[in-house]
Structure 1
Amino acid sequence: MSSQPHSYAADDPETALKYAIQHVPAIDRVQIVEGVIDPLSPTWGHERAAGKIRDQIALTVATLGCVSGSGNLDLPGTSNWYTPDVAVVPEDPADADALPPDQTLLVVEITSESNGDTDPVVKRRRYAEYGAPLYLVVDRQERTCTLYAEPGKFGYTSVNGPHPSGTPVRLPEPFELELDTSEF
């Protein structure tokens, strides 16, 4: 992050809040979930799970001409600004500061003890509402993985899981691969 002072003209609180969290010094990752600012500090186990997923999808991501990482997702019209554990996005819009969820191909959230209900409940509803085509929740407390697909205004209409850790989870088009979940 830059240490240079920034100036902006915010016409509304949503814009001001989202701008402010992008410019908080000394915080690398921060998100807003239903209006609550949430600085992220994942554990190494959390990061290991994200890394295992990135490793397994890397070849397919490259073949699709996409990038994966934990970039910002903006939910316009709300006070929500998410930083998923893994997101796959087309390479062209990857230079944007943030993307709406409908511009992703896959969003992955890995639960932690501090946010156990946020990812499978709150974010699942919002990602569906904002059109994220595939949403994978790795629940480290329950040791399960659930893939949500076919988003709609009232939620995802296709649910694959929860599957116990160790059960392969198939990612449909455009990925067409099975995730080995034994190390999550």
Structure 2
Amino acid sequence: MTSLPDWMRPPRAEGWFAEDLDRLPEAPRHTELIDGALVFMMSPQRWWHGHLVTMLTVALMGQCPEGFKVGREMTVKLDSRNRPEPDLLVTDAPIDRDRTWLAAEEVTLAVEVVSPESAHRDRTVKLRKYAEAGIPHYWRIEDEDGHPVVHVYELDGPTRSYVPVGIFRGTLRRPVPFEIDLDLEQLVAGL
């Protein structure tokens, strides 16, 4: 058995903190921090997942009004011990092109496309953590026999928890965080 590389050892007894992620150049891409523990996305991503995230990014970029930006591969600092990386996010905050993360208050919408290895985190852990951090909108996209199904949540401010506002198949029309009209089947056409 080989020993762990030095970079995998937490720098302190309490584990990892959000700022530690930027000091781990050896860590695999898409490493997240959940409750002070590093979570590696080690398994290969399915074509359906990658294609859907790309097409959704393009579709939202085409519909977002001035001032909004759609991003991928950005972590979100929820607090000192949590820095997940949603599959896609929307922000209306000014962007510093050299930053590697956004603060939770800068994120308007977080989107997770569920994969077998992320299902528990996307359905429960991130649902709770994004809400507690105050992110106003959360979408969880499931693969239902090759068709995207979007579970949409909005934040109930006083309770800091999400309220489900709909499950969308075929089309998704929402007035928030901006006017959105998506043909969900078109996002996976040809697969």
In the superposition, the TM-score normalised over structure 1's length comes to 0.77
Answering whether residue 94 of structure 2 is matched by residue 89 of structure 1, we say: no
Contact 1:171 1:179 in 2 (8 A): no
2:108 to 90, 105, 109: 105
Question: Is 1:147 paired with 2:152?
Answer: yes
Q: Distance in 2 between matches of 1:17 and 1:101?
A: 15
Q: Is the 8 A contact 2:18 2:79 kept in 1?
A: no
Q: Secondary structure at the match of 1:83?
A: coil
C-alpha distance 172-120 of structure 1, shift in aligned 2 (>3 A) = farther
Aligned residues: 170
| Residue aligning to 2:33 | 32
Structure whose CA Rg is larger: 2
Root mean square deviation of aligned Cα: 2.6
Task: Give a deviation string over 1:68-109, Cα, whole Å, max 9, x none.
Answer: 2231101114x2111110011235144433222221121110
Which residue in 2 is equivalent to 1:64? 67
- Give the match's secondary structure for 1:135: strand
Q: Which runs of 5+ in 1 are unaligned?
A: 1-9
Whether contact under 8 Å (2:78, 2:104) holds in the other structure is yes
1:131 to 124, 131, 134: 134
Matched with 1:6 is none
Deviates more, 1:41-50 or 1:136-145: 136-145
- Percent identical pairs in the alignment equals 22
Deviation for aligned residue 1:154: 4.2
